[in-house]
Structure 1
C-alpha cells in the first residue's frame, strides 16, 4: 500500500465476515438478495482481501464523486478554483464542467505546433534528381552519401536529410507494393 494508507485506516473499516449461523439466518446462502460464491471457490483470506479492496475502491469512488461535485460548484460564475483542487482533479482525470480533458502531448512533439510541421514537397527539379538516383538501384542512402544528396538537392530548394531518407523509404515501399499488385493481377489473369 502507498504511504499514509494502512489496514487500520478508516477507509478499510469493513464489517466482520458473517458467521455460519448468520448466513443461514439472514438468507445469505443464495436464497436472499446477496449472491454467494460457491463453497471452496475462495479462501477466507481471499474473501477478506476482496472485501478490503472493495471498501478501498468504494472510498475512491466516493472521493471522485465529491471532487466532481466540488468542481461543478466551482465552475459556476463567481467561484475561484483552487490550484490544489485543480491539480488533484487533473491527476484523476476529472475536468471542469464543459471543458475538454487535457491529455499529454505526443512524445515526438517538438512544440505546440502538433506532432509534425508542414509536409515537405520536393520541387520538380528535386523530384527528377531523386527519381534519377533511385533508378540507379542504390536503395536508401546512408551517412555521407545522404548528406551529399541533401546538399545537392538544397541547391534546388529547401530540403533536409530526413526528407531525403523518408523519400527513398517511401519510394521503395511504393515500388514494392506496385510490383506485388502487378504479380497478383498476373496470377489472377493467367
Structure 2
C-alpha cells in the first residue's frame, strides 16, 4: 500500500497514479465493448432467423442483452415443423431405419427446407423423440 510522505502516515490510496490511469483506460475500453455488444444484439434481433439458428450462427442459446440499468434474458423460439415437413418425417420414419446417419440427416434437411425453416439438429432431435421408448 502507498504511504504518504508526511509523517509516514497512510494516505488512503491502494493504487499508484500509473495503476489508476491504466484502470481508467481499461474501464473506458470495456464500456466501448459493452456498447458495441448492445448494438450488435439489437441489430441481430432484427435479422431474419435462418433455420432456427441465431444470426451469429451459434445455434440456440439464451442471450443476455445488457443495458445500462437492466439485464433482459431473451427467449429462444421453439422450432415447429410444418404439416408438409411432418408428412415427410413420418414417411421417412416408416422406412424403419431409426435415427439417420449424419449424411442422411443433411439430405433430409435439404428436402425439408423446401417446405420451411429447419436445421440438421431439428431433424436429429425429431427422430430421437419419435423413436419408441
Query: The TM-score by the shorter chain falls in which range?
Result: 0.3 to 0.5
Decide which structure has greater helix share: 1
Question: TM-score, normalised to structure 1's length?
Answer: 0.32
Decide which structure has greater strand share: 2
Mark the structure with the bigger radius of gyration: 1
Where relative contact order (Cα < 8 A, 6+ residues apart) is larger, the structure is: 2
